[in-house]
Amino acid sequence: MNSLRNRKTLRSDGSRAFIVLAAIAVLPASALAMELTSSSFDDGGAVPLRHALRGSGCLGQNVSPALEWNDAPPETKSFAVTMFDPDAPTGSGWWHWVLVNIPADVTALAEGARPGKAFATRTDFGMAGYGGPCPPAGAAPHRYVITVYALDVDSLPLDAMSSGAMAGYMINSHALARARITGLFGR
């Protein structure tokens, strides 16, 4: 009798799981996770020269890319954006941009924008602000991972001299959700 009851329970649980999976499958992708896009470049595409660093042998304009995100959790109190090069020949990657304390009602950044009370922390260039791609000449194109984070706090206890590592720690400690895109740049 117990084995018959166990089979019915398994069949019932299996049916419930199938129904849940089927319901998830028909939901739009945006209902499942936060999404990030850029009108400056396609995910997996080349980063235009205007977003590259101006200096260190690079001839860009050092303009941060346009970004737009949606489907953040309703409890989001602020956002942060980072750009990181995992291919930098440092052994630990390279922080190109860390923008924190973006108000929760902001869901897009125009090229070069810094909204409201948001501010940039120090990058691996040694100063706060956006530092565009500039991989070593002749190297294979590097990946530049831009991530937007939905945070559970209005502001992070950071300042313009906080390192990328410290900002990353604080951001990840308060992340509710994240979305990312990757651009490629070589020279």
Which pair of structure tokens corresponds to residue 51?
């977003």
Looking at the structure, do residues 89 and 166 belong to the same domain, yes or no?
yes
Looking at the structure, do residues 75 and 167 belong to the same domain, yes or no?
yes
User: Phi and psi of 164, rounded to 5°?
Assistant: -60, -40
Nearest to 143 by CA among 84, 65, 67, 58: 84
CA distance 29 to 123: 33
Tell me: the pLDDT tens digits for 60-76? 999 999 999 999 999 99
What range does the domain containing 97 cover?
Answer: 33-185
Domain with residue 57: its CATH number is 3.90.280.10
Tally of domains within the chain: 2
Q: Fill in the amino acid letter for 117.
A: K
Q: Where are the alpha helices (DSSP H) in the chain?
A: 2-26, 164-173
Three-state DSSP at 47 gives coil
Mean pLDDT score, 171-186: 98
pLDDT category of residue 1 using cuts at 50, 70 and 90: low
